[in-house]
C-alpha cells in the first residue's frame, strides 16, 4: 500500500506527461529514464550537452581566441517567479562585438551553443573565443550572483547563434545572438 503510493506519486510528479498521456508510458523504467536528464541537468548535462560535435571540437583546438574590437552587449541570466530566462533573449550585434552574460538570480546558469544551430564554419573560432569551456561550445556553470561570462564574436561568420542554459533548458532558458 505504501510502496504503491510512493511509486505512483513520484512517477506523476517527475513525468506528468506520462501520467496524463499514454497508459504504456506509466512503466516506471521508462519514466525514470526520460525524466532523469531534466531533473538532474545541473550535474549530468555536461556529457550530453551539444550532440555530434566531437570531431569539430578537436578541430577547434587549432583556432586562437580573437579579442572583441567593438561594443559589449549585456544579457542577464535570471531565474525567479517569472521563470528562467536570458534577458534580452534575442539580440543582434555586429561582427567583432562581445556579449557579457551576468548572473542576476536563480543560478547556476551557463551559456551553451547548439553546434548544429550556428553558422557553417563558426564552431572552431567560437569555441576558441569561449573561456574555460566545460564541454564543446559550453561555458562553465556560473554559481554566484554578479558572476559574468563574456564571449567575443570576433572572427566568426555572420548569422544566428542559438544557445541555452544547460541546467534550465527544460525550463525554456534559451536565447539567440544574430551577428551582422
Q: Which residues bind Cu ion (CB under 5 A)?
A: 109, 165, 168, 173
Q: β-pairing, 174-179 with 90-93?
A: parallel
Paired with 73 in beta bridges are: 99
> Considering beta carbons, is residue 25 or 42 the nearer one to Cu ion?
42
User: Do 133 and 166 form a contact (C-beta atoms < 8 A)?
Assistant: no
From the list 19, 134, 165, 171, the catalytic residue is 165
12 catalytically annotated: no
19 catalytically annotated: no
16 catalytically annotated: no
> Considering beta carbons, is residue 82 or 180 the nearer one to Cu ion?
82
User: Do 107 and 84 form a contact (C-beta atoms < 8 A)?
Assistant: no
Smallest separation, CB 25 to Cu ion (Å):
28
From the list 1, 12, 168, 171, the catalytic residue is 168
> Considering beta carbons, is residue 18 or 45 the nearer one to Cu ion?
45
Smallest separation, CB 32 to Cu ion (Å):
24
Please state whether the peptide bond connecting residue 162 to the residue before it is cis, i.e. omega within 30 degrees of 0. Answer: no
Largest CA distance in the chain: 66
Q: Which residue is nearest to Cu ion (CB)?
A: 165
Grid cell 567583432 in the structure block, residue: 96
Smallest separation, CB 79 to Cu ion (Å):
6
165 catalytically annotated: yes
Give the end-to-end CA distance of the chain in Å, rounded to a whole number: 62
Active-site annotation, residues: 109, 165, 168, 173
Amino acid at each position: 500500500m505504501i510502496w504503491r503510493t510512493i511509486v505512483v506519486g513520484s512517477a506523476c510528479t517527475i513525468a506528468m506527461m506520462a501520467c496524463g498521456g499514454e497508459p504504456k508510458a506509466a512503466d516506471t523504467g521508462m519514466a525514470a529514464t526520460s525524466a532523469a536528464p531534466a531533473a538532474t541537468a545541473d550535474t549530468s548535462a555536461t556529457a550530453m550537452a551539444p550532440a555530434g560535435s566531437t570531431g569539430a571540437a578537436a578541430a577547434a583546438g587549432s583556432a586562437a581566441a580573437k579579442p572583441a574590437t567593438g561594443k559589449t552587449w549585456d544579457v542577464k541570466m535570471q531565474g525567479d517567479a517569472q521563470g528562467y530566462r536570458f534577458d534580452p533573449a534575442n539580440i543582434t550585434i555586429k561582427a567583432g562585438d562581445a556579449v557579457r552574460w551576468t548572473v542576476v538570480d536563480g543560478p547556476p546558469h551557463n551559456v551553451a551553443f547548439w553546434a548544429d544551430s550556428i553558422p557553417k564554419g563558426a564552431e572552431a573560432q567560437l569555441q576558441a573565443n569561449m573561456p574555460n569551456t566545460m564541454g564543446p561550445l559550453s561555458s562553465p556553470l556560473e554559481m554566484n550572483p554578479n558572476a559574468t561570462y563574456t564571449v567575443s564574436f570576433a572572427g566568426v561568420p555572420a548569422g544566428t547563434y542559438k544557445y541555452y542554459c544547460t541546467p534550465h533548458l527544460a525550463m525554456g532558458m534559451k536565447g539567440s545572438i544574430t551577428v551582422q
